[in-house]
Amino acid sequence: MQKKKQTNIMTVFFMLAFLLLFLIISGRYIYIQVTGEANDVPLTEWAEELRETTLVLPSERGKIYDHNGMTLAYNRPTYRVYAILDPEYSVNKAEPMHVTDPEKTAEHLAPLLDIEQTEIIEKIKDGQKNERFQVEFGNEGKDLSQEMMEEIAAMEIPGINFIEDSKRYYPNGMFASHIIGFARNTDEDEIAGVAGMEKEKDSILGGTDGYVRYHRDNYNKKLLDANEVVKPPENGDDIFLTIDQKIQTLLEDVMSQVDDQYEPKRITAVVMNPKTGEILAMSNRPSYNPNSPDDVQNWYNDVISTPVEPGSTMKIFTWAAAIEEGVYNSDETFKSGKYTVNPKVETINDHNQGKGWGVIDYDEGFRRSSNVAASKLVWEKLGTETFLEYVKSFEFDKETNIDLPNEVAGKVLYDWPSEKLRAAFGQGSTVTPIQQMKAATAIVNGGDMVEPYVIKKVIDPDTGETLEENESKVVGSPISEDTADQMIDLLDAVVNEKDGTGKPYRLEDYSVIGKSGTAQIPNPDGAGYLTGSENNIYSFMGMAPKDDPQILMHVSVTQPKLEDGESGSDAVSFIFNNVMENGLHYLNIEPDKEKVIDPIQSITFPDVQDKATSEVEAQLEKDGIDATFIGKGKQVVDSNLREGTKVLASHKVLIMTDKPTIPDMTDWSERDVLALSNLLGIDIQVNGSGFVSDQSVEADSKVKDDMKIEVDLQVPNVEEED
């Protein structure tokens, strides 16, 4: 009886417990139904989160172009290889979709990824052991080219798949590296600028990712009523530089040759259109390949960021100040060699160990680069305070405002009498090459000084709209037109008179004007200057042609290793002469120097325009001119020479027919290639130096308006030729 009573009590207890639980659950269910919330979270929001998925629509970083539209920086697709390990991924599939044989997988991948087979096997088996869905293969499995990806994919290895990434790529390698800079992938798989233009204009180049948001089912399939929301990506803007790819390539090539031969501590070079301030080329050594940024040896763009004592190139502005002030008399003479203002101040020596050249006039003093003449002009003619005003009017005390990062202005030392004397000939005070270039534009432009710049325009790649465009900007007029004209004559004499210091910079086809400089290097120990011919900064700032300068160029070479009989000007002139001569030809600037031509070896080029090809071919053969006909058309439409031009038998003559095709350019010189580019009106990118060894477009291909060709040049092997 007692047992039955206990059983009844337990039954009632459980019934009440179940009833209470039922009421709680029912109440909770009714509450959720009525309020639509669970744990203060709206169920509709929760359901939205479960059903909703978002896909990122990546934006594209803006490209960087030269001023002709040649691509200098762009995003290139790369690939990461990974292996799926989960066998369930292959369920209900006709073929296995996961790795089934680690050993065979490693056998295929190892030679392509340059990884040991054992390392691949270990990664796969370790992933299987830890029940991982997939594994990757470290750095060796990243940044694969499309060609490599396609080669691996063609093997159809079970479980091997790829993820597409994007990486910044610079097709020209070491090319204007301190201007363009570089960008790299961050840990968040974004591309961010690190140096140069890539960093300075990161906000312009970088885009904003978009997205697609929609509802899906449990199988990750889009619902019929998916509530799809699409936000398109905003691509980065494209930047067009003032840099000319062909002139920049030429500059890089000759600088590399000088770097290899003379092993200097530093080389800087900058090429400018002096009428507008547009930078056509700029480079430094040491430099770097932005595709391998871990190898950077020199982060500084020395052209704008490293002030040095300029040496005698500063005398340009000393003489200009004296002429402008009306205190310069070209016929007045002085005793060269040594100049002592006060024994307690300092004795100034001319650069030939103070020997001088006897009693000479001030024009000859400029040609011979006399330190004594410069000091006397400042101390006795101008006055030190007036000269300082001109130093400031040429803006040597401030940055040029060039649109590049990390510009540093030079420092004018002008407290003590000795500093004022030395400033006259470029010692003590410091400037950057770009500061001197900016100041020199006043001589080209009749006294008006223009601001240098490297960004030509910014373009929206989606609409083609020009968002920003830079133009020439006059920022001062430190001298008059008459003074500028007199300075052009003085600079002409430096190069072209027999006693001028600029003789190494004469060109074959163009008249060069300019000023050379040799600056001493302060001793790191703080005591005076380093000694020896190798411990100098050799420089030249020149322009051509004389009567209408189209190119202004500054080159400096620091501490070159010189053999017996060599001069620092040898290294500087090799860079200057090559770039200036070929650059002017490339820009189609008419030569202004008359050549002495042997009438026996020279031939007058005939009129070929609009004549039958067969007739022209017969005429040129009769005249002894070996011509290359571009295409097999029946009529001649153009040539790289004009009627009446004197031509030597060795000159490359190009005749374009009415059906032009790409010729075989093997063994052509760079000048010949550029002549073809101008004749056909197409972009031809020249890589290397010497003569053509390879071309990207086959011979006899039809010429198209948007055609771009790459040609590789190599220096001939002398031993093989012998």
Instruction: Tell me what pLDDT residue 649 has.
Output: 58
- Condensed to tens digits (0 to 9), the pLDDT of residues 535-594 reads 999 999 999 999 999 999 999 999 999 888 788 899 999 999 999 999 999 999 999 876
What DSSP state is assigned to residue 575? H
Which whole-number Å values give the CA distances from 188 to 169, 191, 246, 308, 527, in the listed order?
19, 9, 37, 41, 51
Number of structural domains found in the chain:
4
Q: Which of the two residues, 457 and 219, has the higher pLDDT score?
A: 457
Beta bridge partners of 82: 136, 161
Q: Same structural domain for residues 22 and 109? A: no
Look at residue 208 and give its three-state secondary structure.
strand
pLDDT at 722: 27
**Mean pLDDT for the chain?**
86
- Per the model's pLDDT, the better-predicted residue between 653 and 286 turns out to be 286
Cβ proximity of 589 and 549 under 8 Å: no
Q: What is the pLDDT of residue 721?
A: 31
Q: What is the CATH number of the domain that holds 540?
A: 3.40.710.10
In this structure, what are the phi and psi dihedrals at residue 240, rounded to the nearest 5 degrees? -100, 125
What would you report as the CA-atom Rg of the chain, rounded to the nearest whole angstrom? 36
Residue given tokens 């047992």 in the structure block: 3
Q: Which tops the pLDDT comparison, 98 or 180?
A: 180
pLDDT at 583: 95
* pLDDT score recorded for residue 561: 93
Q: How confident is the model at residue 243 (pLDDT cuts 50, 70, 90)?
A: very high
pLDDT at 623 over 80: no
> Which CATH number goes with the domain that contains 614?
3.30.10.20
How deeply is 88 buried, as exposed, middle or buried, from its count of CB atoms within 10 A (0-12, 13-18, 19+)?
exposed
Q: Are residues 578 and 630 in the same domain?
A: no
Across 17-26, 74-83, 602-611, 702-711, the highest mean pLDDT is recorded for 74-83
Active site residue 312: yes
Query: The domain spanning residue 85 has which CATH number?
Result: 3.30.70.2110
Task: Examine the pLDDT at 403 and tell me if it is beyond 60.
Answer: yes
Q: Are residues 269 and 404 in the same domain?
A: yes
148 domain residue, yes or no:
yes
The residue out of 119, 144, 176 marking a domain boundary is 176
Structure tokens at 247: 């002139």
Q: Would you give the DSSP letter of residue 504?
A: G
pLDDT over 90 at 689, yes or no: no
Reference 148, options 194, 122, 183, 113; nearest CA is: 113
- Measured CA to CA in angstroms, residue 230 lies from 55, 404, 633 at distances of 10, 37, 54
Which of the four pLDDT bands, split at 50, 70 and 90, describes residue 142? confident
Residues 282 and 410 reside in one and the same domain: yes
Point out the catalytic residue in the list 177, 283, 287, 312.
312
Confidence of residue 224 (pLDDT cuts 50, 70, 90): low
pLDDT at 719: 33
Give the whole-angstrom CA distance, residue 478 versus residue 394: 6
Q: pLDDT grade, residue 598 (50/70/90)?
A: very low
Same domain, 658 and 525: no
pLDDT tens digits, 336-373: 999 998 777 678 999 988 999 999 999 999 999 999 99
- Helix, strand, or coil (residue 121): helix
**Mean pLDDT calculated for residue range 114-132:** 88
Name the more confident of 56 and 480: 480
Q: What is the pLDDT of residue 88?
A: 83
Q: Are residues 568 and 664 in the same domain?
A: no
pLDDT at res. 650: 56
- One DSSP character per residue, 285-325 reads ES---TTSGGG-S--S-HHHH--B--GGGGHHHHHHHHHHT
Indicate if the pLDDT at residue 702 is higher than 80. Answer: yes
539 and 440 assigned to the same domain = yes
302 found inside a domain: no
Single-letter amino acid code for the residue at 277? G
pLDDT category, 513, cuts 50, 70, 90?
very high
Helix (H) or strand (E) holding 248: helix 245-262
pTM assigned to the model: 0.73
Which letter, b or e, does each residue of 126-151 get, where b requires 16 or more Cβ atoms within 10 Å of its Cβ?
ebbeeeeeebebeebbbebeeebbee
Last residue of a domain, one of 176, 210, 239: 176
In a domain, 485, yes or no: yes
Query: Quick one: which of 204, 275, 216, 267 has its CA closest to 47?
Result: 216
Higher pLDDT, 603 or 128: 128
In a domain, 633, yes or no: yes
Whether 478 is covered by a domain: the verdict is yes
Q: Categorize the per-residue pLDDT at 597 as very low, low, confident or very high, splitting at 50, 70 and 90.
A: very low
Mention every residue, 6+ apart, whose C-beta is less than 8 A from residue 520. Answer: 309, 311, 427, 529, 530, 535, 536, 537
Is the confidence at residue 45, as pLDDT, over 90? no
Q: What is the pLDDT of residues 308-336, one digit of tens each?
A: 999 999 999 999 999 999 999 999 999 99
The answer to whether residues 652 and 627 touch, using CB atoms and an 8 Å cutoff, is no
Which residues are within 8 A (CB) of 194 and not within 5 positions of it... i.e. 6 or more apart? 181, 182, 183, 184, 293
Is residue 402 within 8 Å of 434, Cβ to Cβ?
Answer: yes
**Portion of the chain with pLDDT greater than 90, in percent:** 48
Residue 647 lies in domain? 602-721
- Three-class SS of residue 330? coil
- Whether 293 maps to a domain, the answer reads no
Q: Distance between CA atoms of 285 and 572, rounded to whole angstroms?
A: 13
Q: Which residue has the tokens 């160990």?
A: 353
Question: Within this chain, do residues 47 and 94 fall inside the same structural domain, yes or no?
Answer: no
Q: Which of 176, 192, 214 is the last residue of a domain?
A: 176
391, 317 Cβ separation under 8 angstroms: yes
Q: Where residue 686 falls among pLDDT bands split at 50, 70, 90?
A: confident
Do both 510 and 417 map to the same domain? yes
Task: Read off the pLDDT of residues 654-671 as tens digits, 9 standing for 90 and up.
Answer: 888 888 898 888 888 777
Compute the distance between CA of residue 486 and CA of residue 447 in angstroms, rounded to an integer.
Answer: 11
Which phi and psi (to 5°) does residue 66 adopt?
Answer: -80, 180
Q: Say whether pLDDT at 716 is over 90.
A: no
The answer as to whether 373 is a domain residue is yes
pLDDT score of 19 more than 50: yes
More confident residue, 92 or 220: 92
Rounded to whole angstroms, the Cα distance separating 542 from 549 reads: 9
Residue 525 has pLDDT above 60, yes or no: yes
Burial class from Cβ neighbours inside 10 Å (0-12, 13-18, 19+) for residue 709 reads: buried
Our CA dihedral for 624, 628, 631, 635, rounded to 10 degrees, sits at -30
Over residues 144-173, the pLDDT tens digits come to 888 888 989 999 899 899 988 888 999 999
Report pLDDT for 287.
Answer: 92
Q: What is the pLDDT of residue 31?
A: 58
Q: Are residues 142 and 81 in the same domain?
A: yes
Q: Is 186 a member of any domain? A: no
Same domain, 634 and 545: no
Same domain, 97 and 170: yes
* 571-590 per-residue burial string, b: 16 or more CB within 10 A, e: under 16: bbbbbbbbbbbbbbbbbebe
